[in-house]
Amino acid sequence: MTSFHDFGLAEPITRALAEEKYATPTPIQAQTIPTVLSRRDVIGIAQTGTGKTAAFALPILHHLFTNRRRPERKTCRVLVLSPTRELSGQILDSFRAYGRHVRISAALVIGGVSMGAQVRALQNGVDVLVATPGRLLDLVTSNALRLGEVEFLVLDEADRMLDMGFIHDIRKIVAKLPAQRQTLLFSATMPRAIAELAAHMLRNPAKIAVTPVASTVERVEQRILHVDRAAKPAALAEILQRESIGRALVFTRTKHGADKVVRGLAKAGISAHAIHGNKSQNQRERVLAAFRRGEVLTLVATDIAARGIDVDGISHVVNFDLPNVPETYVHRIGRTARAGAAGIAISLCDGEEAACLRDIEKLIRMSIPATHHRTFPRQAQPSTTQGRTARPFAHAGGQRRQRGRGNAPRKQDRHEQPRNAPSGIAAVAFLHRNTRSGRNTDSRRGEDGNPKG
Ligand code: AMP
């Protein structure tokens, strides 16, 4: 699936996605949306950050849109259970955002706030109810809510609900639901207790798993280079000239961007080829074959085009643009360091991408060592160590200049630096020296949201 339009989702939903600037479904979305639309139960093994909320919300909204009916009083048609108040609020926000052109009613039922408003919100019934298990049961017990009309049950972060001691509440809730319903369970991990719960609650579920992020992330040496957008082409050229590259895969967000990067590299005397959807199948295969043979050392690709690239020995992944979807970052960097090899991922990050970087670091639970382009003066490099440390891949053939302008002058001067100011080259070398470690065990690691509700 390359586009949300391929799923056959109702127009008001795809319109909202376009407004959210979601162009491409994430892997969990690509697999889950058609499965839910085909009315099957789903067990999804996916972490936060993978786009799992939209994976269940979109097909459910489609169902509500195409099977419109007024919810009965004190009932809900869709029940979403989540472990924390915070997550419940986020899920409700997502339903509202993706469903902004579909007229639906939605309510939040969480602990820690007074019950009166929640009782009133349920009076006339709602389409979508997002709840934490404890408070939901309180409302059921006090006859403010009946669960006999539920068409969809979603259990989000099931493993965390288990950890937080909600298992009995969940069993009690499920016992009150109609047998005729569709059930979707999402969990980052699949301990035995969750598997048992799923076997008890789901019917012939499709199991959909997306790659766990940790293993990839740990194998790849990652670096961030903060750089102005305008200086990115020069920074990229410097990286490719400076690093000892086996094979480099450069990612851009758009096809147009990929072509532009190739042109920019050509000006710097670096030969690179773009592969993306606008190239013919034939062209793509030719370039890929040359990449495999080592005749082309730098490929510039969009995320979609890169899915077809199955090449070992990629020493470097360079993110010319940071991806909007954090999981895409993990997929991108997973292109290097395959089969136990070492790999380096360097991401160029401009001011507008700071939020993307934050999301990525949250997902991978580490802060990526970063340095700033242009901020390190040449004299800051102790020349004695530079040769060794600036070439982590020295064995792979040293610096290389690809076909083109041979020793033509470099284009680094294009990023307007004052005279005697830090050179981009120096900055990049600094980056190599100082960024080898960087696991971060800060407070993000245990980020757990709010207490149970
Ligand atoms: P989630 O895993 O549901 O918490 O989603 C993680 C983040 O990815 C959220 O900020 C979503 O808004 C965003 N997101 C989800 N799906 C897409 C998509 N297909 N394209 C771009 N962003 C997305």
Residues 98 and 120 in one domain: yes
Are residue 175 and residue 255 in the same domain, yes or no?
no
Would you say 350 and 232 are in contact if contact means Cβ atoms under 8 Å apart?
yes
- Ligand 1 atom 6, closest CA: 49
Within this chain, do residues 34 and 181 fall inside the same structural domain, yes or no?
Answer: yes
How many A from CA of 329 to the centre of ligand 1?
13
Q: In this structure, what token pair is assigned to residue 42?
A: 């789903």
pLDDT computed for residue 226 by the predictor: 96
Whether the predicted pLDDT of 149 surpasses 50:
yes
pLDDT at residue 292 in the model: 86
Query: Is 29 part of any domain?
Result: yes
Closest residue by Cα to atom 16, ligand 1, is: 51
For the segment 46-90, what is each residue's pLDDT rounded down to a tens digit? 877 788 999 999 999 999 999 999 999 999 999 999 998 888 998
pLDDT of res. 421: 32
Based on the fold, state whether residues 114 and 134 are members of the same structural domain: yes
Domain co-membership, 419 together with 288: yes
- 414: CA distance to ligand 1 center in Å? 36
Q: What is the pLDDT of residue 174?
A: 97
Q: Which atom of ligand 1 is nearest to 25's Cα?
A: 19
In a domain, 449, yes or no: no
Measure 22 CA to ligand 1 centroid, in angstroms: 8
Residues 6+ apart with CB under 8 A from 280: none
Q: What is the pLDDT of residue 425?
A: 37
Please state the atom number of ligand 1 nearest to the C-alpha of residue 48. Answer: 2
Residue 334 pLDDT class (50, 70, 90 cuts): confident
Residue located nearest, by CA, to atom 21 of ligand 1: 22
Q: How confident is the model at residue 340 (pLDDT cuts 50, 70, 90)?
A: low
pLDDT in tens, 399-441: 333 333 333 333 333 332 333 333 333 334 334 333 333 333 3
Instruction: Pick the most confident of 323-327, 356-360, 385-389.
Output: 356-360
CA of 49 to the centre of ligand 1 (A): 6
Same domain assignment for residues 244 and 205: no
CA–centroid distance, residue 114 to ligand 1 (Å): 31
User: Do 187 and 249 lie in a common domain?
Assistant: no
Identify whether the C-beta of residue 162 lies closer than 8 Å to the C-beta of residue 81.
Answer: no
324 Cα: distance to centroid of ligand 1 (angstroms): 8
C-alpha 98 – ligand 1 centre gap (Å): 11
Centre of ligand 1 to C-alpha 53, Å, is: 7
Statement: residue 396 has pLDDT above 50:
no
Q: For 244-270, write each residue's pLDDT tens digit.
A: 788 999 999 999 999 999 999 999 999
Q: Could you tell me if residue 84 is inside a domain?
A: yes
Neighbours of 116 (CB within 10 A): 9
Indicate whether 328 and 250 sit together in one domain: yes
Residue 211 is predicted with a pLDDT of: 67
Residue 99 tokens read as: 């469903």
270 is a domain residue: yes
Q: How many structural domains does the chain have?
A: 2
Residue 181 lies in a domain: yes
pLDDT band at 448 (very low <50, low <70, confident <90, very high): very low
Pick the residue whose CA is nearest to atom 14 on ligand 1: 51
Report the range of poorest mean pLDDT among 175-184, 200-209, 305-314, 431-440. 431-440
Is 34 found in the same domain as 131?
Answer: yes
In testing the pocket of ligand 1, which one of 6, 9, 26, 322 has its CB within 8 Å of the most ligand atoms? Answer: 26
What per-residue confidence (pLDDT) applies to 393?
27
Mean pLDDT of 117-140: 97
104 found inside a domain = yes
User: Domain limits at 151?
Assistant: 4-209
What CATH number has the domain bearing residue 124?
3.40.50.300
Gap from CA of 322 to ligand 1 centroid (Å): 14
Nearest CA to ligand 1 atom 20: 22
Average pLDDT over residues 309-327: 87
Identify the domain boundary among 169, 190, 209. Answer: 209
Domain identity same for 296 and 321: yes
Give the mutation target among 19, 325, 359 for probing the ligand 1 site: most ligand atoms within 8 A of CB: 325
- Entry pTM: 0.57
344 with 431, same domain: the answer is: yes
Residues 384 and 433: beta-carbon distance below 8 Å: no
Task: Give residue 213's Cα distance to chain centre.
Answer: 10
Confidence at 308, pLDDT banded by 50, 70, 90? low
Q: How far is the centre of ligand 1, averaged over its atoms, from the C-alpha of 333 (Å)?
A: 19
User: Which amino acids bring their CB within 6 angstroms of ligand 1?
Assistant: 22, 24-26, 29, 48-54, 324-325
Query: Does residue 103 sit within a domain?
Result: yes
- The whole-number average pLDDT for the span 98-114 is 95
Token reading at 91 = 């899920």
Q: Closest by alpha carbon to 319, among 296, 295, 335? A: 335
pLDDT at 277: 73
Nearest 10 degrees: CA dihedral of 31, 34, 38, 40?
Answer: 30
Residue of 14, 17, 22 to test ligand 1 pocket, by largest number of atoms within 8 Å of CB:
22
Say how many Å lie between the CA of residue 50 and the centre of ligand 1. 7
Q: Whose CA is nearest to atom 22 of ligand 1?
A: 325
Name the closest-CA residue to atom 12, ligand 1.
51
Q: Check if the beta carbon of residue 197 is closer than 8 Å to that of residue 405.
A: no
Q: By the 8 A CB rule, do 73 and 30 touch?
A: no
CA of residue 282 to ligand 1 center, whole Å: 33
In this structure, the residue with its CA closest to atom 1 of ligand 1 is 51
Q: Give the pLDDT mean for 193-199.
A: 91
Q: Evaluate whether residue 394 is within a structural domain.
A: no
pLDDT, tens digit, for every residue of 154-191?
999 998 898 888 999 999 999 999 999 999 999 988 88
Q: pLDDT at residue 136 above 50?
A: yes
Q: Are residues 205 and 226 in the same domain?
A: no
Q: What value does the mean pLDDT of the chain take?
A: 81
Q: What is the pLDDT of residue 202?
A: 97
